[in-house]
Structure 1
Amino acid sequence: MDRIFEQMTSWLKDWIVDGLMSLLTGTFDSINAQVGSVAADVATSPADFTPGVFNLMKTVSNNAIMPIAGMILTFIACYELIQLVIAHNNLANFETWIFFKWIFKTYVAVMLITHCFDITMAIFDVAGHVISQSGNIIQNSTAVNASQLAQMRSTLEAMSIGELLPLFMEIGLLNIGIKIMSMMIFLVIYGRMIEIYLMISLAPLPFSTFGNREQSQIGQNYVKSLVALGFQGFLILICVAIYAVLIQNVSISSDIAGSLWSVLGYNVLLVFALFKTSTLSKRIFSAQ
């Protein structure tokens, strides 16, 4: 009878240990997969990230927004001509060269609005190049290696069933928390890209304001916002690099739950930092 009870206890313990190892492996794989894809995602241009959405935004912009931008450009060009004519003491010092100046400024404004998508994509291409080059330098891994997993298993096998059951529940809760953090990282990355798509869909409107010094502030702020969005990806990459260094310092000791709490804490810190990248990037580039 004792032998049967011992075998059942051993079987139950092995089952719990296998379940815990599966849970731990899934937990680490989830966060590692999400964090590991960040560098590739933020370096991808809007045209390549989701081509279908990008083409949709471009079509809508060309067909719905571009005509309105043309009307705004026409109004600003007329307003600029009036300003140039009356600028010299209400026509007292009238000079014909102002017409050539107006033609040149209008030509530049038309070229800008015509190639607004090319200019917008160039900004993100430059930012993507910077991110790609930085990603080649920053290559720290966030993965838990096989020796650490083996150490975890040895620690679990040394525990009794009474110790394993509460640990199972605690690790289950930690697993849920880490998966939530993984989802938050996903939201930051894809939320940034959706914001980029929304910005580029209205590109012709702010670009139509460059024909006048006063109104061009709208276009300048728009370009600053695009640059801020582009280089937000660089800040995201830096956050992930810092996280990778910190996570490597977490020692998988006999206190497995404590180690996982440390991992969860670093994940919370990472998510908080990722959410701050948008504000920080806009502050750096003075984007409103």
Structure 2
Amino acid sequence: MISEIIEKWIKGILIDGITGNLSGLFDNVNAKVGEIASDVGSTPQAWNSGIFNMLRSLSETMVLPIAAAILALVMCHELIQMITEKNNMHDFDTSMFFRWIFKSAFAILIVSNTWNIVMGVFDATQSVVNQSSGVIIGETSIHFDRLIPGLEFQLESMTIGSLLSLWFQTLVVGLTMNILS
């Protein structure tokens, strides 16, 4: 009789420990999902302004001039090829020059606004993530009592050794999650 009371008391303590460990574990996971949603939703400048400004200055002072020089070489080569291809202008069409001018202007426009285009893509994706972060946090939150209905009933049918083993496993997983975060 006393052994049954002690066994029931130990089982109660272990079951409470297991459910507490699982609850804490899932609360940590839910918190991390929320943190990730906010980190992904931040702009590049808000995430790390020093690296953002360094990349912007490198883009404007290094990449843009190199891209402009390569573009100038390609467009000059294309113009020379276009002129020599038509038998030294004996079979010449003036629309060729207009197409070349249009292609050159379009290429210059794209190269000179590359930084703005990339930042526009980042802003658009950041806006989408911010709009969906509430849904992400609300829909991905995990509650173990809804995930495993009747958990306490299942735990009560286990032996003390199994409960102790399960308690230790949930404790180790919870501590590992806390250490990694």
Q: TM-score when scaled to structure 2?
A: 0.66
Gaps of 5+ in 1: 187-288
Gaps of 5+ in 2: none
Q: Give, as a single letter, the amino acid of the residue that structure 2 aligns with 1:65.
A: V
Q: CA deviation at 1:69?
A: 1.3
1:170 counterpart = 2:177: no
Q: Distance in 2 between matches of 1:43 and 1:84?
A: 48
Q: Distance in 2 between matches of 1:104 and 1:148?
A: 61
The alpha-carbon distance between structure 1 residues 56 and 15, as it changes in their structure 2 partners (threshold 3 A), is: farther
1:113 counterpart = 2:111: yes
Given that 2:22 and 2:144 are in contact with CA atoms closer than 8 Å, whether structure 1 keeps it comes out as no
Q: CA deviation at 1:73?
A: 1.2
Q: What's the counterpart of residue 67 of structure 2?
A: 69
Q: Distance in 2 between matches of 1:155 and 1:127?
A: 45
Q: Compare relative contact order (CA 8 Å, sep 6+) and give the higher one, 1 or 2.
A: 2
Pairing partner for 2:26 from 28, 31, 35? 28
When the two chains are superposed, the root-mean-square deviation of aligned CA atoms in Å is: 4.2
Q: What's the counterpart of residue 49 of structure 2?
A: 51
Q: Deviations over 1:174-207 (max 9, x none)?
A: 5578x4xxx7xx9xxxxxxxxxxxxxxxxxxxxx
Task: Give secondary structure in 2 for the equivalent of 1:140.
Answer: helix
Task: Give secondary structure in 1 for the equivalent of 2:163.
Answer: helix
Q: CA deviation at 1:55?
A: 2.2
Task: Give secondary structure in 1 for the equivalent of 2:139.
Answer: coil
Paired residues, what number? 176
Q: Give, as a single letter, the amino acid of the residue that structure 1 aligns with 2:165.
A: P
Q: What's the counterpart of residue 92 of structure 1?
A: 90
Q: Distance in 1 between matches of 2:109 and 2:146?
A: 60
Given that 2:145 and 2:151 are in contact with CA atoms closer than 8 Å, whether structure 1 keeps it comes out as no
Q: Give, as a single letter, the amino acid of the residue that structure 1 aligns with 2:141.
A: T
Q: What's the counterpart of residue 124 of structure 1?
A: 122
Q: Deviations over 1:39-94 (max 9, x none)?
A: 44444443444333322222222233223212211111211211332343442223
Given that 2:30 and 2:142 are in contact with CA atoms closer than 8 Å, whether structure 1 keeps it comes out as yes
Q: Give, as a single letter, the amino acid of the residue that structure 2 aligns with 1:33.
A: A
Q: TM-score when scaled to structure 1?
A: 0.46
Q: Give, as a single letter, the amino acid of the residue that structure 1 aligns with 2:74.
A: I
Identity %: 32
Q: CA deviation at 1:118?
A: 0.9
My pick for the range that moved more, 85-94 or 67-76, is 85-94
Q: Distance in 1 between matches of 2:121 and 2:106?
A: 19
Q: Give, as a single letter, the amino acid of the residue that structure 2 aligns with 1:170.
A: Q
Q: Distance in 2 between matches of 1:109 and 1:148?
A: 55
